[in-house]
Amino acid sequence: MSGSTRTFDLVVAANRLPVDSVVGPDGEVGWRRSPGGLVTAMESVMRGRDGAWVGWAGDAGEAPEPFEEDGMFLRPVPLSPEEVADYYEGFSNDTLWPIFHDVIVPASFHRYWWAAYERVNRRFAEAVCEVAAQGATIWVHDYQLQLVPAMVRELRPDVRIGWFNHIPFPPVELFAQLPWRRRLLEGLLGADFLGFQRIDDAHNFMRACRRLLGLTTKGEVVNAAVEGRPTRYVRASAIPISVDFAGLEELAQTPEVIQRAKEIRESLGNPETLLLGVDRLDYTKGIRHRLKAYAELLEDGVVAPPDQVFVQVATPSRERVEAYRELRQEVEAEVGRVNGEFADIGSSAVHYLHHSYPRDEMAAMFLAADVLLVTPLRDGMNLVAKEYVACRHDGGGALVLSEFAGAWHELHQAYVCNPHDIAGLKQTIVTAMTATEAERRRRMRAMRRRVADHDVQRWAGRFLEALECAPSRPRRTTREQTADDAHAAADQRAVEARQAARSPQSAGSPQSAETGGRP
């Protein structure tokens, strides 16, 4: 059957498809799993569901034809080389990403990046509508597609639309820097339900709606009153994402993974303590802070190879964005400096691995590591922390976890750290390394219970249920409808009165800043 004639009751839209196309040396096109936590989580959710996934195949130029993969229908969205530069590397990862992560590096603003973002979001919305059956559930993901909910609603009022943000939602003081802040909020308010990692993220979003759009909110519900249209209510809640606990545990219990974990330790000289970091090479992950702390522990003589060994896996990421290029140079220079000073023949102080690995190899690394260092400066969740916990069926291991990772709000038994406080971070690493076996097991047991109870299937179930029960289009009696409309009209009058009382600047950005073409 031709791809374009098939429609589905469940459609996922995410910037990336679960697989990236790769061209081999012989020119053959192959597929490899895409990077990042979104794909890890949604891949296991979509397995076995008869759904479609709309996304980019990771290559500039023409998109491949729609195809089936693992029982899922994949509908690639094409991006031209300019759109990869302007929509993906530019607006998504050099404007939104820093703003949504505490401006760890400065954000760049370009009107032609925004124009590409708008254009690509529309293309995604059209592709979603093409594969959505009548009354379908549409699940849009992440910061790259914030305009898609309203665009889909405009084209297809029959569908139900949810959006989940995998990254933090910034405080209004940071979000307000975006010249296109109103358009982004209006785009999101096209959804029936908005899911966030933490309660604070949902609150930040609601505050932005109040402050920048002058909307009213009650509890978790935003009154998205738009002049001339029927009142819509949009719910915004925290539904923290998770991992496939049972699947990871099973994988980590296979004899092959257990054997491989032993081999990894042996190949590192059977250290007393193996410390591990696993991250995309991103400035949000706190890799520099972690290396600084470890280098100081080496200088202090608290750790020394071959008894203590640190392995840092740094997955290549967004390599054409300047801030990522700089980070790679700095990290690699620091690893070189540390090894130059503290390594010996056959025994490195820091093993640095700039590769992607298959799932079973990752599970073996988790099983081999005595201490996992998860020290982001800001992270929506950090699935690596939960994967480590899921793989430790032996009850061993210790997790050092930043208080700025979403995971910290669930994994309170981790060894908590503030990665900006290098002295504190060093102390936490030492505490985790030297804790008694009983103490480490007690903590790991509690964390495993939490992740087992709140796994990715439960997360998806909660999200879809919340979307199903979203208050946007409640079935109401005529009397309730009249009361609601009167209430909405009163809200609207209050909003208008507030807007009139404000200066034009404070109500939103000048319209001229919200449009723009390539220079």
Binding site for ligand F6P (CB under 6 A): 15-16, 35-39, 142, 166-167, 317-318
Residue from 356, 357, 354, 402 nearest 381 by CA? 402
- Residue 273 binds ligand ADP (CB under 6 A): no
CB of 39 to ligand F6P, least distance (A): 6
Residues 384-413 that bind ligand ADP (CB under 6 A): 384, 387
CB 237 within 8 A of CB 249: no
Report the sign of the C-alpha dihedral through residues 475, 479, 483, 489, in that order. Answer: positive
What x/- string results for residues 319 through 358 when contact with ligand ADP is judged by CB under 6 A?
Answer: ------------------------------------xxx-
Q: What is the C-alpha to C-alpha distance for residues 419 and 421, in angstroms, rounded to an integer?
A: 5
Q: What is the C-alpha to C-alpha distance for residues 25 and 124, in angstroms, rounded to an integer?
A: 31
- Residue 36 binds ligand ADP (CB under 6 A): yes
When binding is defined by CB under 6 A, the residue of 189, 278, 291, 429 that contacts ligand ADP is: 278
Q: Give the H/E segment covering residue 374.
A: strand 371-374
What x/- string results for residues 133 through 162 when contact with ligand ADP is judged by CB under 6 A?
Answer: ------------------------------
Residue 382 contact among ligand ADP, ligand F6P, none, beta carbon within 5 to 8 Å by kind: ligand ADP
When binding is defined by CB under 6 A, the residue of 382, 402, 428, 492 that contacts ligand ADP is: 382
31 beta partners: 21
C-alpha torsion angle, residues 66, 69, 72, 76 (rounded to 10): -30
Nearer to ligand ADP, 112 or 357 (CB): 357
Nearer to ligand F6P, 310 or 459 (CB): 459
CB of 156 to ligand ADP, least distance (A): 29
Nearer to ligand ADP, 234 or 399 (CB): 399
CB of 276 to ligand ADP, least distance (A): 11
Q: Give the H/E segment covering residue 424.
A: helix 422-434
CB of 487 to ligand ADP, least distance (A): 40
CB of 41 to ligand ADP, least distance (A): 8
The CA R_g of the chain, rounded to the nearest whole Å, is: 24
Residue 12 main-chain phi, psi, to 5 deg: -100, 135
Nearer to ligand F6P, 181 or 318 (CB): 318
Give the CA distances from residue 158 to residues 129, 151, 161, 225, 429, in Å, rounded to whole numbers and listed in that order. 10, 13, 10, 19, 53
CB of 345 to ligand F6P, least distance (A): 37
CB of 308 to ligand ADP, least distance (A): 22
Q: What is the C-alpha to C-alpha distance for residues 104 and 386, in angstroms, rounded to an integer?
A: 24
Residue 318 contact among ligand ADP, ligand F6P, none, beta carbon within 5 to 8 Å by kind: ligand F6P
**Within a 10 A sphere around the Cβ of 171, how many other Cβ atoms?**
15
